[in-house]
Structure 1
Amino acid sequence: MDKIALVFGAIFGLTAVIFGAFGAHLLKKKLTTEQLNSFETGVKYQMYHAIVLLVLGFYLNNKITIDNYIIYAFIIGIILFSFSIYGLVISSANNKKLKFLGPITPLGGLFLILGWGLLIYKFIA
């Protein structure tokens, strides 16, 4: 069991629900349809990977190096991918777009891909 994966999975699950409600109720009137879709993409990916972290928390062993790499790849990926989207959308809605966040989103996506790739490697190795 990996406690870090379980804790972060629970935190990301909790905040995905909060951000989803925030987007659906408070931001709906403030955002364009495109911005709202982007925000929802961040929430969906956050929740999907929160669930993955919870499952992996019961399956992986933090004493095995590749297991730690998998967990940290997903944690870093969620933070960089979803949270950069939230920042971009909210700052754009306030006409103060934080452009430096733009390149961070695909970097987060690469970490999510890395997590999945390492998981595949673990399963077939």
Structure 2
Amino acid sequence: MNQKSCNWIVVGALSGAISVLLGAAGSHWLQAVIESDYAETYSTAVRFHMLHSLAIILGAIVLDRMALNFFLSVALWLLLFGLAIFCGSLYFLSMTQFSILGAIAPVGGIFLILGWLSFAFGVLRSNAKRAS
């Protein structure tokens, strides 16, 4: 496995570990901090965090298996930034009830969408190069 893919797998694994830690913290220790109105928001952040941590690991494996291409690399960065912005804003919103943070979440969501689209385009492009 190339070093770039290994690095991304480590990033995804560490992100997944943080997701589990934050999920456990939300279930056990942060109940006093998170108001019940924001518990679902926190839960959404944990779910998206874990899902996109796994997506980064999957993307790293695909990046290693296919010819390295720009779009797959960009997809991983977009997923990472999207995860940080989307989930981070929801975590902080849940804990602080500072409503402006809710307005930041859609920016992270856009990064996540672009990451998935870049991933799909990168796979299609890599597959087209193999066929020709």
The answer, yes or no, to whether TM exceeds 0.5 is: yes
Give the root-mean-square deviation of aligned CA atoms: 1.8
Distance 2:9 2:47 in 1: 18
Identity rate, percent = 27
> 1:54 offset after TM fit, Å?
0.9
User: Match of 1:11?
Assistant: 14
Distance in structure 1 (CA, Å) of the matches to 2:37 and 2:120: 33
Structure 2 unaligned regions, length at least 5 = 126-132
Could you say which structure has the larger radius of gyration?
A: 2
Distance 1:8 1:82 in 2: 16
Bigger shift: 29-38 or 101-110? 29-38
Whole-Å Cα distance in 2 between the matches of residues 100 and 29 of structure 1? 22
Residue of structure 2 aligned with 1:71, choices 72, 76, 90: 76
SS in structure 2 of the partner of residue 103 of structure 1: helix
Q: Give the residue type in structure 2 aligned to 1:27.
A: L
Partner Cα distance (2:36, 2:100) in 1: 23
Q: Which residue of 1 aligns with 2:114?
A: 114
SS of residue paired to 2:29: helix
Aligned match for 1:80, one of 72, 82, 85: 85
Contact 2:8-2:57 at 8 Å conserved across structures: yes
Matched AA of 1:73: L
Match among 19, 42, 49 for residue 46 of structure 1: 49
TM norm structure 2: 0.82
1:87-119 CA deviation, whole Å, 9 max, x = no partner? 111112xxxx2x442221100000111111112
Whether the 8 Å contact between 2:33 and 2:95 is mirrored in structure 1 is: no
User: Are residue 90 (structure 1) and residue 95 (structure 2) matched?
Assistant: yes
Shift of 1:124: 3.2
